Amino acid sequence: MKLCSTQELDIIKTFECGQCFRWNCGDDGVYRGVVAGYYAEASVKDGEVYITSDAPEDIWQQYFDLGTDYAEISRAFTGEYLSKCVEYGRGIRILRQDSWEALCSFIISQCNNISRIKGIVERLCENFGDPICVGDKVYYTFPSAERLAVLEPEKLACIRSGYRAEYIICAARAVVGGEIDLEALKKCDYKQAIKALRSIRGVGEKVANCVVLFGLWHMEAFPIDVWMKRALKENFPPDFEPETLGEYAGLAQQYIFYYARSMGRKK
């Protein structure tokens, strides 16, 4: 299925900018992943993005947030440094990911690098998700909160997540027990969503903001990690507040993060 142009969506930047952990690029340049329980392939040909999947077509419109005009929004991001970030990251889209998957994945992400996060997430899926057979290969769905809530942390030793295992189980139990209603948090105020998520053991400010942005779709969220702290310190006034970037501050954050991390890795 032809999805959109590469001007609207750059799959390399979008999948490699640190917001998701289940898309992997093969030697053929095709990205393969599992979304909403469906196996999918994303590829580029002649300036167009193609998706191959059994998933309903409307899933992809929502997942890639294709109904939002990022080019128009980005015009509001001004200033020499931010404009440079926007140009470098053009084509990034904020994925509308499953809320439970985002919560669990970003708990795993704390004090971790992307390669290791992807490995832990993959082992979690292999051990506790459902198999999807594609030719001679097997992919796995992301395990539900219900599946993980009945486990003790020791049962996660196989995914090698260390101390995060206890946090994963705590989060699963909070969701299953109704202490955290992820669907309701999509509709409530951004700050209320942050406060609710921070009540989960092991969820701090950065993880909460990542979940709110990538899993609950509050576009004003502005996660700050080591790369962001450095970029903000070196390129923004000391009194800078993310709120000044407006209701799409989260998109600006991704442009800044992607540029800062890319430039930092080149040094």
* Residues labelled as active-site residues: 206
**Three-class DSSP labels, the chain:** CEEEECCCCCHHHHHHCCCCCCCEECCCCCEEEEECCEEEEEEEECCEEEEEECCCHHHHHHHCCCCCCHHHHHCCCCCHHHHHHHHHHCCCCCCCCCHHHHHHHHHHHCCCCHHHHHHHHHHHHHHHCCEEEECCEEEECCCCHHHHHCCCHHHHHHHCCCCHHHHHHHHHHHHHCCCCCHHHHHHCCHHHHHHHHHCCCCCCHHHHHHHHHHCCCCCCCCCCCHHHHHHHHHHCCCCCCHHHHHHHHHHHHHHHHHHHHHHHHHC
